[in-house]
Amino acid sequence: MTGPLRVVLASRNAGKLAELQRLLPGLDLVGLDPAFEPGPETEATFEGNALAKAREACAHTGLPAVADDSGLAVDALNGMPGVLSARWAGRHGDDVANLQLLLAQTTDVPDDRRGAGFVCAAAYALPDGRAHVVRGELRGVLTRAPRGTNGFGYDPVLEVDGRTAAEMAPEEKDAVSHRGQALRLLAPLLLDALRS
């Protein structure tokens, strides 16, 4: 390789782009064009949504694409909000409303049944049609109130080893997070595919 390879991230989420740039330092990772309107996430699994988003971004840009689909799976809610995490309260990306609804729904759940975990499926799609998807998970316990100011989404309510994801420094979170796990699995596969 003569320089970093340009890869498009199938998202306009600035927090996610910054996180992925830290996790994939060997690539020139760019976000989606603001004028592009991606299709709805209609798959029933994180893996299905990640692959669909990567393929759509690749087709739109002609560039190799990386996408992820992630969310929070709460044991007491039978794995929900799951793939509906970003729109759990009805409007996509309203983190405050999503957190408030989730905490209201789990108010009466006893401490010994508050298991939960972040799940991330990360995928790549190449212009020649090759694609691959992997999965990472971070298990913890659902808190009763948000804690911490780092991160985004449900980070303030998943406690891992005594701290929420929002109480961790970005480097600490990257080392253990569901997205970090998935991207560390995906990165060498993507680089090998790009070189071949």
pLDDT band at 60 (very low <50, low <70, confident <90, very high): very high
Q: How far apart are CA 128 and CA 20, in angstroms?
A: 23
Active site annotation includes 69: yes
Residue 64 near residue 125, CB atoms below 8 Å:
yes
Average pLDDT, rounded, for the chain: 91
Using alpha carbons only, how large is the chain's radius of gyration in Å?
A: 17
Q: Is the pLDDT of residue 141 over 90?
A: yes
Of 69, 75, 112, 174, which one is the catalytic site residue?
A: 69
Structure tokens at 196: 């071949």
Residue 85 corresponds to which amino acid? S
Tell me 86's DSSP state: G
Averaged pLDDT, 143-151: 94
Which helix (H) or strand (E) segment is 50 a member of? helix 46-61
What percentage of the chain has pLDDT greater than the value 90?
Answer: 67
- Is the entire prediction scored with pTM above 0.85? yes
Domain boundaries in the chain?
A: 5-195
Q: What's residue 1's pLDDT?
A: 45
- Residue 130 sits at φ, ψ, to 5 deg, of -70, 145
Pick the CATH number of 5-195 from 3.40.50.11390, 3.90.950.10, 2.170.150.20, 1.10.1060.10: 3.90.950.10
